Amino acid sequence: LFAGPVTFVKGVVAMAGLPPADRVEVCFAGRSNVGKSSLINALTGRKTLARASNTPGRTQEINYFALGESRYLVDLPGYGYAEAPVAVVAKWQALLKQYLAGRQTLRRAFVLVDSRHGIKAVDAEILKLLDRSAVTFQAVLTKVDKINRAEREAVIEQVKGALAKHPAAYPEIVVTSSEKGEGIETLRAIIATLE
Ligand code: GTP
Ligand code: MG
């Protein structure tokens, strides 16, 4: 699946602009700067497919990428802190919530969590929304190249604890580094098996 063609489909700014719900899709959600766009680039082996940046709030639309003809990968705007005007952020946050709650073909939401920080209060609102919407979500730790063994074990425990109270949480946590490639093959396999 990931060996085949990957193409940018479109950037969506309103629910009406979503492409037809005709295939399985997975999305990448998480706080601003957590590494969503970088993870999509690592998964697809394309360095600049999704725009990644050091400036929180880089991704401001819902960006659709097609993996062959059978899957969409969806890069979402970050939530929480963003270097953008308040009104602009409010608009894309509203779209993000409508999307997460209302997309029929969304099979799994990968919720990215910075492995240096763990699950934070700002994640709670999104996790509750996913529970209410019955969208299965899976936690993906990012930037694991920045922490040591002990920190890794500690953050996994923290995330496990936080997930325990969410009925929509898929229990397996994926540990990744887009920089070093860790966990990328595991995540590809998960995406490939979703029907
Ligand atoms: P927004 O679109 O602004 O919400 O951000 P995002 O979640 O898409 O994050 P993005 O992929 O743009 O990455 C943010 C910063 O983190 C960039 O400077 C990346 O180079 C860096 N980064 C992402 N993944 C990793 C990783 O696995 N390891 C390290 N060391 N840095 C990473
Ligand atoms: Mg981004």
Answer yes or no: are the C-beta atoms of 159 and 173 closer than 8 Å.
yes
83 lines ligand 1 (CB under 6 A): no
**Structural domain contains residue 1:** no
The whole-number pLDDT of residue 12 equals: 95
The whole-number pLDDT of residue 61 equals: 92
Closest CA to 182 of 151, 150, 142, 138: 142
Strands 62-67 and 71-75 come out as antiparallel
Number of domains forming the structure of the chain = 1
The whole-number pLDDT of residue 55 equals: 87
Q: Report how far apart, in Å, the C-alpha atoms of 135 and of each of 90, 121, 152, 167 are.
A: 23, 20, 27, 10
Residue-wise pLDDT for 143-161, tens only, equals 999 999 999 999 999 999 9
Helices (H) and strands (E) in the chain, counts: 5, 7
179 lines ligand 1 (CB under 6 A): yes
| DSSP structural state of residue 75 | E
**Structural domain contains residue 92:** yes
Q: Which atom of ligand 1 is nearest to the CA of 178?
A: 27
Range of the structural domain that residue 159 is part of? 6-193
The whole-number pLDDT of residue 20 equals: 97
User: What's the CATH number where 184 sits?
Assistant: 3.40.50.300
pTM value is: 0.97
The whole-number pLDDT of residue 162 equals: 96
List the chain residues with pLDDT less than 70. none
The whole-number pLDDT of residue 139 equals: 98
80 lines ligand 1 (CB under 6 A): no
58 lines ligand 1 (CB under 6 A): yes
DSSP class per residue in 96-155: HHHHHHH-TTEEEEEEEEETTT-S-HHHHHHHHHHHHHT--EEEEEE-GGGS-HHHHHHH
Ligand 1 center from residue 85 Cα (angstroms): 21
60 lines ligand 1 (CB under 6 A): no
The whole-number pLDDT of residue 106 equals: 98
Ligand 2 center from residue 54 Cα (angstroms): 10
